[in-house]
Amino acid sequence: MSSVPERSEIDQEYTWDLESVYASDDDWEESYETVAERVEELQHYEGQVTDDAETLLSVLELRDSIMREVSTVAAYARMRRDEDTTDQQYQALAARAQSLAADAQSAASFIDPELQELTREAFDELVEAEPELATYDHYVDDVLRMKPHTRSAEVEELLADLSEVTGATSDVYNMLSNADMTFPTVEDAAGQPVEITQSNFTNLLKRPDREFRRRVYESYFDEWQSMRNTVATTYKNSVKADVKTARARNYETAREAALDGPNVPVEVYDTLVESVNDNLDKLHRHTELKRRALDVDDLQMWDLYMPLTGDEGPTVEYDQAAEYVVDALEPLGEPYQSRVDEGLDSRWVDVYENEGKQSGAYSSGTYDTQPFILMNYQDDISSMYTLAHELGHSMHSQLTKDEQPFVYSGYEIFVAEVASTVNEALLTNHLLETVDDPEFRTHVLNEFLERVRSTLYRQTLFAEFEHETHRLEEAGEPLTPDRLDELYGGLKAEYYEPAVVDDRIAREWMRIPHFYRAFYVYQYATGISAALAIVDGILPDGAGGEPDRDAAASYREFLRQGSREYPLDLLRVAGVDMSSADPIDRALSTYGDRLDELEALLE
């Protein structure tokens, strides 16, 4: 029987080293209590932020110091909870940390409104009096830019206090999908029971037994159907919270509010959707090629994840995957490559699935810790690519905190997804250049195509869906389960025209956790577009060619900037202009070329 191990059964070398953050939960408690008391110090500055340069510097440095410690407290609790989402002790720690973070944000909420009483000229005069304030130049510029959408100190404090409530739908969904929902067990071709989980669902849809795939698909989505009203209500209220919060900040739409945070024009979003829709013929060709390769009359939704080779693909154990990834990063320079290698040896990665573990993968860590990566590694090519992806995020964080002060140590998702996808593209080039096995190479090409399909096309489909759900809410139209199914199913039919779009796939919106972070997913699509353009610059002659060291240096400089500039300006450092359709069109052209290449191999 296929089973998921208990966490205690996983070898320590394949778990992340959270003891490097706090040696024990008692140490976490001590840090929690200390920083909770420090939060109160901020209130002494209320009404005095811009009195003079010395006071302004003091309050900003105090705020940063507190937020640094709060972020570490919160990250540890969240990661401990994610090791086993059924563990009530760590559920409680995570909830306390979330409340602390909300309290800290609330306590600091007066700072930006008071800063907005300044003019740009007045701030420059304060910098002359206290040169260390120059560190905060871009931060202040961003605060002043947001003045039309910042409310009074009292309202800002209220909005900060309500952040736990407005974000509660995400917590409800997370606990429902990861802790409370259980999926059926189905029999494989040998009559052996196989447990379906959130983490292994798509992998099970890559198995060659088509009847098994159908049973997995139907059982999985039938379980979601049993939660249909609950999930629809949860999502509906998440959308309502987005819309009401946007209105509270004087935005016309929730989309405008979400994109204005990182200062990305809505035209970038619209250009993405337009370019992808103009290139749906390539996705249709990919879908039709898959139908022919699988030798089926109709491509069903349970066939969609199958490799074009018609089998599960080669086994790639974690240690081998790590070696491939490290070798693939050589074009980025030896220091970058060595740092990744050292990180893998230092237990950055929590590798394997265990009972109750948070599904999916992410990169975490804070300014004062090493990076941490959660995975549910499945010994396949797809998992190897996920490792490369998350290491891109981790190295972005590492290089940023090496170079930038805490205030710029984060970065917007718009640029974050570039770093992750550059690693994926470099891995593709490396494997195609160095691995001779035809079957392996075919699977690498297939993986590249699937990554573009799922990142550029699928995430844009998601972006269209959430744009429309928010538009409906803003127009006062009800978001019923039937309406959500109708909307999602219609988009699925447009994007996957040659395939059979059934009633079950219309419920797929129910299983997408990213929808609880509104207008987030489009950045995966813009990210892969920018990343492929960057790799084209670093490897102008393709795989096997001599890397352009200047282009690699520009890319590393981009990674070191954190949030020192706005996203579109940062990407220009790396040589990419995302205000135009060019990177998207180039990425889709590369997708078409790779599709031609694989089609020729299969024939």
249 is written with which tokens? 């900040």
Q: Distance (Å, rounded) from C-alpha 488 to C-alpha 467?
A: 12
Q: Distance (Å, rounded) from C-alpha 314 to C-alpha 596?
A: 22
Q: Distance (Å, rounded) from C-alpha 187 to C-alpha 243?
A: 45
DSSP states of 547-579 as a string? P-HHHHHHHHHHHHTTTSS-HHHHHHHTT--TT
Kindly calculate the radius of gyration of the chain based on its CA atoms and give it in whole angstroms.
24
260 is written with which tokens? 């204005």
Q: Are 316 and 379 in contact (CB under 8 A)?
A: yes
Handedness of CA 323, 328, 334, 336 (dihedral sign): negative
Q: Are 391 and 340 in contact (CB under 8 A)?
A: yes
Of the candidates 85, 103, 90, which has an alpha carbon nearest to the alpha carbon of residue 4? 85
Q: Are 491 and 505 in contact (CB under 8 A)?
A: no
509 is written with which tokens? 């919106």
Q: Distance (Å, rounded) from C-alpha 561 to C-alpha 150?
A: 26
599 is written with which tokens? 């089609």
HSE value, Cβ hemisphere, 13 Å, CA-based, for 232: 19
- Checking DSSP bridges between strand 349-352 and strand 372-377, what pairing results, if any? parallel
- Dihedral pair phi/psi, residue 583, rounded to 5°: -60, -35
Q: Distance (Å, rounded) from C-alpha 538 to C-alpha 547?
A: 5
Q: Are 420 and 525 in contact (CB under 8 A)?
A: no
Q: Is 122 buried (19+), middle (13-18) or exposed (0-12) by CB count in 10 A?
A: exposed
| Per-state percent for the chain, helix, strand, coil, to nearest 5 | 70, 5, 30
Q: Distance (Å, rounded) from C-alpha 447 to C-alpha 433?
A: 15
Which residues, in sequence order, are bridge partners of residue 199?
A: none
Residue 587: C-alpha distances to residues 129, 288, 464, 562 (Å): 49, 20, 19, 24
Of the candidates 563, 566, 565, 534, which has an alpha carbon nearest to the alpha carbon of residue 548? 534
Of the candidates 506, 461, 468, which has an alpha carbon nearest to the alpha carbon of residue 239? 468
Residue with tokens 């370019």: 275
Q: Distance (Å, rounded) from C-alpha 257 to C-alpha 176?
A: 28
Q: Distance (Å, rounded) from C-alpha 181 to C-alpha 448?
A: 32
Which residues, in sequence order, are bridge partners of residue 195?
A: 185
Q: How many CB atoms lie within 10 A of CB 450?
A: 23
Q: Which amino acid is at 273?
A: V
CA torsion 344→345→347→350, rounded to 10°? 50
Q: Distance (Å, rounded) from C-alpha 19 to C-alpha 3?
A: 28
Given 390, 417, 466, 508, the catalytic residue: 390
Q: Is 312 part of the annotated catalytic residue set?
A: no
So which residues are the catalytic ones? 390
